[in-house]
Chain A
Amino acid sequence: MCFPASPAEVAAAVAVAARHDRPFVARGSGTGLSGGATPVGRPVVIVTTHLNRILDVDPAARVAWVEPGVLNLDLSRSVSHLGLHYAPDPSSQAACTIGGNVATNAGGPHCLASGVTAAHVLALDVVLADGSIAQLGGLEPDQPGYDLRGCFVGSEGTMGIATRVAVRLTRDPTVVRTLLLDFTSVEAAGATVSGIIAAGIVPAALEMMDAEITRAVEDYVGAGYPRDAAAVLLVELDGLEAGVAAQVEEVRAVGREHGARSVRVAADERERALLWKGRKSAFGAIARIAPDYYLHDVVVPRTRLVEVLLEVYEIAEEQRLTMMNVFHAGDGNLHPLIVFDAREPGVWPRVTDAGDAILRACVAAGGVLSGEHGIGLEKRDAMPLVFGPDDLDAQARLRDAFDPWGRANPDKVLPRGSRCGELGVVPEGAWV
């Protein structure tokens, strides 16, 4: 394990790995939830936390060059006095790195309208698996040739290590309104989500929390969430005065139409911050319920949200598990959260069986395996659920074009046998 302090040191570490024909694994803060940074096969682990400088901020161009170990929230804080922020805001933003965000194509509550990490990364310096350094993308709007920058974002460390990142900064909105809608059924909350989108509104954020997590959060932070709600929606609208005011009324009307018990608009910044604190402390809150949790991340077409959510509850019941849901409803990104005590005999197989069942339910509804946490090790062998052999082969070709030596985090994302002609092709539908 090494802690390089400059891009040259990253390149040197990669070159050492190359010389000894050992794999290497990049690691940021290690908050990843799919095992992308987990060392497999005695790799050199290259930790980026000492590469933590904000190198340059250009307020006129709204661009910042940062090192990969800069924490997401530190970047936004450092430009807030300019009326700017870095838009992707994973719930882990106080702890995760920009490099990790780039590698996982991280999302967050506010990515609904503004897009996930891929839409905010302009250019990257990367160390390739042979130790050479390449710049991908650029500050000019177009570069000739293939969009290697776009390919690298979300590649989970399998195409090289980012050592410098140019990100787009976003201007703070003039007006922000945050609403809390309270429902007596998850169906009503789900229908409201679809209703809002169908009304032609794409909120800045549209989050849903079910009964159990709402209670847990309320007990933990006292944000003023209704303890008896079956589900709540947290809706944030931003932009300019008239448009936001009109949308607040429309969201209120859609909510009422679907039976919202109450619609509360945060009166001031303090109340707004408290509502968000509730949402963002969900994972802290559950620690008071049971010592362990397994957080899932799947996406379904947003019109199938309720149907899949109900299936998730059935799965929990079948496996006799506590399942809570706090998620990015606006883009159909579910986060079923299984809360358990690993000391309970026989609980683990039930937890993993429930995870399998959730994936299958989601894929059956036309969904995908991950919306923001990535594939890593966790879902690698489930890839054939959504991709055929030819699709996986094409992805393997792309990955190998970046790293023909197979040294950059080689055991992640693609299941063994993805390359056509490679032995041991995973049978279709088989996984884990």
Chain B
Amino acid sequence: MTQALSRTDTYLPDFQALQRTAETGGQTWLREMRDNAWSSFSHLGFPTARRGNEKWKYTSVRAIAYADFSHPQDLDPDTGAGAAELKRIAPWNDDWMNLVFVDGRFSKVLSGGTGNANGARVTSLADAIRSDGELVQEYLGRYASVEDDGFTALNTAFLEDGAFIHVPDGQSTSSVVNLVYVTTGRSQPRVSYPRTLVVAGRNSRTTFVESYIGLCQEPYFTDAVTEIVAQEGSRVEHYRLLMESTQAFHVGHCLVYQAKDSEYESASFSMGAGLGRNEFEVLLDAPGASCSLNGLYLTTGTQHLDNMISIDHAKPHTKSRLLYKGILDGKSRAVFGGTVLVRKDAQKADARQTDKNLLLSDEAEIDSKPSLFIYADDVQCSHGATAGHMDDNTLFYMRSRGLDLEAASRMLIQAFAREIIDTVQLQPLRDYLDKIVLEALPTASIRLGGGS
């Protein structure tokens, strides 16, 4: 194992307090799950780059490990955030099913929308644990292992609430499920543990949006875990928006299990977090399973953003597509670490991964290290990473048509981003992203490329 930073004691009082509470803590299996996760966490601690831990090579979480975050039991999720403010900031559509979580807990008051779950079950995880205990128990933590990831272990030790989507066989969520995880300003640095479980039954259809939003300027920490189970022939469309505030730490871990002929499509947009990490792990566990992962990350100031994506082609005739793009400004730093693994018997696997970066400043830095491990011989695989400044000759061409430098560079940056935004199939979400990505794009300090 690859650990060192312990500092786990900070979390102990909150953990003990949670285990004492009656509510969901009353379920023995959950209590045991937390206990087990806690012992894992206290053993693992936070990850470091030491001992050749490639997954954390370029991102240090010392600042998280050494902060004193707390997770009190007595916060009222209904009063933390203003509904009006939320609707203005978060992706929101009254036709959707909007579930709002404040500091990790479901807020009935802030949630709403006319969306209908149809035959599906869309509810808070706390509710689901009470009423659908067996189903939840069957899947929760099945793919998000606490054995080798400190952050997942910590999230699981504090498992209490979050979102639960269950789409029975042959059904579909007739409207979009919109999960909004908000952190609000309180005097002491907070940590929250959002947990999302999506179980897509055979031949079912699901579309959900998951966003993480900060409504405060103080430092806080979000330790999120999302588990998606895509059963045979199902199709899951997943949008993930990172819009934490500039002082925030965010570590999100998304695990996707795919059965035969299932389709998983995701688009991940990272606009905010002081230190952000998005980890995706997709297991293509049966023939015909295919996934498409797109991502756009915008970093500026001293932001640090890390995308770590692992795709496991475990079986033959599986397909993956990965396209991530970054726009980096200021002294920001981004990491793209992707691993595509094609196992020995995964013949006819088809994998493509690409990471492209646009550097707007001399001081911004990208570490793009996608890697490919192929153990089968009859496969189609490709990968590539690029990084560059805006091209002088291109800018000259545009200026020679009357556009000034700023208009020209904005147009190029937007065009660069649009390729990813265009993968969003939900029109209202695409419009929303168009707007916020545009606002987030830097206007100044355009650094031009080297001579032609």
The answer to whether A and B come from one shared complex is no
